[in-house]
Structure 1
């Protein structure tokens, strides 16, 4: 479905494919992020280069950056400015270019093709969130870019689904200072001003294996982990009792014991046991202090079994983020979309980009479709999203 938009920068936009063609080209290129299965993991370079070409055609200055310590992953920054000011003020629109893997047996549509059916566009990344870049490009067809007085930036990041390395690297080295950042994750076009952090820890117990007929000659790692779990459940209750933020539907930090592995035979003393857990931290909680609290909680067991208990991060922790209610940029966005900002429990790249400018998460599609078989974006979001982006660009860049 293509909407009749006013095209003021005709020469530039005539070079662009149609909205649905852009959408389909983005979905067709696999950009899966996976550290558990290297065969599934893909570079995002082709998508980054394609986006760079499209924004170049519109007169943007583009920079492609290799993200260190990733598996051939890249960021793109595209900037449009009608003066020498390339960094101060204006707007940053941001999204990630990778997707999660897909469950082949559960998909009934081709994940690498946009399938239009029953007022839905199906495909891997249609909602989460490669499709957002198609919306940006389509919205620019209806804007006279030469009328902008402040810079407009487009950021496409790498590896959000695993490490968020792209956003972290960009935030560390960015020179620009926009007035507002919009991350186009699927929020049903409801502005999101805060979310919890994500901390995933691995707790490893190294016991002493031996024959089960003489338990005293060994140290059973499963039994030690039993003691660890008892302490973790005490910490879980402590977090619930002592930390609160009423902005969230679940107003306290949560803990989940997600995976446990240990042992190899019924007649063998378990020599190794591993637990993977997560904590969803409130925005005001310091991640290092949370790690210290975890270690302090487990210290009695560490002292009892010296050198046999180790606490690591599974992946780099993601802090929570919050854009305050009275932030001028947030208030402007709330007025433009006629919606009060909300909070969510899932994580995004906002903690990194919020270091650069007030950041709001706002995009088409529902978060309920993210990471699901037969992912889709409903066509009811198409026209409102384009109109919303045009309003936001006009407000912050003219």
Structure 2
């Protein structure tokens, strides 16, 4: 097989290919350059590569690269996009890999372009001509914004395997669960008027006060009803993130909007929570004479949970010598689970560096991650019994 670049060279090229995903159009970019690099390297190693444009997003792509065949096997998964960046707060060019103090700096170095370089460097050094089950490398689009890449795969059902590892930065700790997240908006429409006479209008801010009171009561009920000791914050949370209403002190507020998030524990249904919130609003509408609308800012992300007794969790606990834990941030894990795979989150680098100026991956994370990857491939792709 033809030689591929060194790990550092691959990482350099991936970081030099901008692939920001963002809900704001002026930031949003295609991930085509990153996908083309990965496809070229993996094809040279014998992988069968399928590049899949996202529905209704012709500039965004998923990549499924498969070596071997069978109905089991292992997926090594990562996302190709990064978040936006604050150029004035970086000490070096975000798109140029720079090594300083035993750390590799660059946008996406740990979250999570560096993971792909580590995977490909590991795989090309292994003897994989006699796979018993397939090895699949998955690269997705838009994880940092809509997760539309993973959603499309789940809807299409186009990925078949038994086990999956998502290489998000966890400082090499196996993660078997995280909370879901919903981001919602409540809009109250009343009637503006001169503030000297309340009867001339219908104050949307007054009605929003009632809405927030009901939500705070509901929040307390959730906290009292649900708990999971596996999480540092062991109950569902609801945060009122921003509120906007009115335009002048001497005008009755005609419209008020509240945006909030809700993070549910594994086992809780986002749809059921939305339905319960919706049921709180009609009585407030009737009492206040306003119109109240509930809508989602973004599609919700389900909670993620893989039983701690699962084979891949146990294998990674053995390989890392660390007990599986939980995290607060969301991943593509629930979408891979929906496709029937036992999934865990485990990767090099720290989430503390992700989404930050001067993002880096420490060099001492690379070799231990390669050992985990080799161990999983040997266990789930090379051995005859899974």
TM over 0.5: yes
* TM-fit CA distance, 1:212: 2.4
Match status 1:63 vs 2:47 = no
Match status 1:19 vs 2:7 = yes
What runs of 5+ residues in structure 1 fail to find an aligned partner?
Answer: 1-10
Q: Distance in 1 between matches of 2:192 and 2:57?
A: 37
* TM-fit CA distance, 1:231: 1.1
* TM-fit CA distance, 1:391: 1.3
Match status 1:157 vs 2:140 = yes
The one of 351, 354, 357 equivalent to 1:370 is 354
* TM-fit CA distance, 1:390: 1.3
* TM-fit CA distance, 1:267: 2.4
* TM-fit CA distance, 1:45: 1.2
Which residue of structure 1 lines up, in the alignment, with residue 172 of structure 2?
A: 189
Q: Distance in 2 between matches of 1:268 and 1:344?
A: 46
The 5-angstrom pairing of residues 53-132 of structure 1 reads 53-70=40-57, 72-81=59-68, 85-86=69-70, 88-132=71-115
* TM-fit CA distance, 1:188: 0.5
Question: Cα–Cα, structure 1 residues 161 and 323, in superposed 2: closer, same or farther, change >3 Å?
Answer: same
Q: Distance in 2 between matches of 1:329 and 1:385?
A: 15
Moved over 6 A (4+): none
Which residue of structure 2 lines up, in the alignment, with residue 7 of structure 1?
A: none
Match status 1:219 vs 2:221 = no
CA contact (8 A) 2:202 2:290 kept: no
* TM-fit CA distance, 1:305: 4.2
* TM-fit CA distance, 1:145: 1.8
* TM-fit CA distance, 1:104: 2.2
* TM-fit CA distance, 1:175: 4.0
TM-score normalised to the size of structure 1?
0.92
Match status 1:271 vs 2:254 = yes
Secondary structure of the residue aligned to 1:396 is: helix
CA RMSD of aligned residues (A): 1.5
Secondary structure of the residue aligned to 1:147 is: coil
CA contact (8 A) 1:235 1:297 kept: no
CA contact (8 A) 1:142 1:390 kept: no
Match status 1:386 vs 2:355 = no
The one of 132, 156, 159 equivalent to 1:173 is 156
Q: Distance in 2 between matches of 1:45 and 1:182?
A: 23
Secondary structure of the residue aligned to 2:161 is: coil
* TM-fit CA distance, 1:282: 0.5
Q: Distance in 2 between matches of 1:176 and 1:219?
A: 53
Secondary structure of the residue aligned to 1:279 is: strand
Secondary structure of the residue aligned to 2:281 is: helix
Q: What CA deviation, in whole Å up to 9, does each residue of 1:278-319 have, x standing for no partner?
A: 011001001111101111233421332466111111100011
Between 122-131 and 306-315, the greater mean CA deviation after superposition: 306-315
Question: Cα–Cα, structure 1 residues 69 and 315, in superposed 2: closer, same or farther, change >3 Å?
Answer: farther
Q: What CA deviation, in whole Å up to 9, does each residue of 1:101-121 have, x standing for no partner?
A: 112222222111111111111
Secondary structure of the residue aligned to 2:87 is: coil
Q: Distance in 2 between matches of 1:92 and 1:138?
A: 16
Q: Distance in 1 between matches of 2:55 and 2:190?
A: 36
TM-score normalised to the size of structure 2?
0.95
Q: What CA deviation, in whole Å up to 9, does each residue of 1:70-113 have, x standing for no partner?
A: 472111100001xxx35x11100101111111122222221111
Q: Distance in 1 between matches of 2:38 and 2:79?
A: 12
